Amino acid sequence: QARELQDAAAALLSRTWAEEEALRRRAAALREDLARLRKAAANAQTEKVHEDLDRASCLISDGDIAAILPSKAHGTFLKLLLGPVNLRARKEVQLKVKEEYNSYRDRTAIVFLGFPMILLFLRSWLWNGCFPALPVQLYQAWLLLLYTTLALRENILRVNGSDIRPWWVCHHYCAMLMALVSLTWGIKGQPDCARKQRGVELFLCWAVMQGFAMMLQNRYQRQRLYTRIALGKV
């Protein structure tokens, strides 16, 4: 039975690949035809022609067929981390990716807020006013991981049509650089560690405030996503 299942699965995958390849060739040919028609109709005065061409192009570029078309260049960041792969997904998968992105932001916002609060509390209660280097550097390393994964997810969402502004992704690139630089900080101890670690203390206080802002922002973005789903815009 296991062998039969294996053969059936292999046959199914083979048929699926063949059908997908046929659809890919048809879609590529249609896209070339649309490009030629658009050039030919450039001087046409009929709006109906342009509307039909735009509608057909939209179905190819934003519909389910886009998931099997050859991938376009996705930018240096995605190419560096993932290579030349097709990241377009079907509509139902795109919605799941957006939901997972919001869930990930919700989970990480709790860590973003809680970690520095714990460090500040332990500094006064257990560490006699001095931060040990390791816990602070662990938080900074986690920030580097966080901003890298956020930038990666946001680039994938942009490939799949999400309306994420380029400046928002760029600000995460800058945050990655900030986290990387912060890992090089020399966290000095006694004597007079309160003065030497003033910058670390201010950084952690900023992180607490940023954590609260992230939680409010996540709540707003999730409500906005649900509104767009209800209006049929997603």
Structure confidence by residue, pLDDT tens digits, 67-80: 556 555 567 777 77
* Overall pTM > 0.75: no
Task: For the chain, give the percent of residues with pLDDT over 90.
Answer: 22
Q: 65: which DSSP letter? A: G
pLDDT of 117: 93
Q: Of 105, 211, 84, 210, nearest to 164 (Cα)?
A: 105
Q: What is the pLDDT of residue 61?
A: 61
Q: What is the pLDDT of residues 140-179, one digit of tens each?
A: 999 999 999 999 999 888 887 777 888 999 999 999 999 9
* Residue 96 three-state SS: helix
Is 224 or 151 the better-scoring residue by pLDDT?
Answer: 151
CA 226 – CA 206 distance, rounded (Å): 30
CA 101 to chain centre: 7
User: Please, are residues 142 and 115 in contact by the beta-carbon 8 Å criterion?
Assistant: yes
The pLDDT value given to residue 108: 93
Whose CA is closest to 212, among 112, 97, 102?
A: 112
Report how far residue 158's alpha carbon sits from residue 88's, in angstroms, rounded to the nearest whole number. 10
H helix and E strand count, the chain: 8, 0
- The whole-chain average pLDDT of the chain stands at 79
pLDDT at 71 (0 to 100): 55
Residue ranges covered by each domain of the chain: 2-70, 91-230
Predicted local confidence at residue 81, as pLDDT: 77
Kindly write down the DSSP assignment for every residue of 126-159, as one continuous string.
TSTT---HHHHHHHHHHHHHHHHHHHHHHHHHHH
Residue with tokens 């919605």: 95
77-131 confidence digits (pLDDT tens): 777 777 777 676 666 677 788 888 889 999 999 999 999 999 888 887 877 778 7
More confident residue, 184 or 232: 184
Q: How many alpha carbons lie under 13 Å from residue 62 in its C-beta half-sphere?
A: 11
Q: Between 222 and 100, where is the model more confident?
A: 100
Cα of 6 vs its chain's centroid, Å: 36
What length does the chain have? 234
What is the distance between the terminal CA atoms of the chain, rounded to a whole angstrom? 43
Give, in order, the Cα–Cα distances in Å from 69 to each of 72, 73, 162. Answer: 9, 12, 18
Q: Please check the confidence at residue 223 and state whether its pLDDT lies above 70.
A: yes
pLDDT at 3 over 90: no
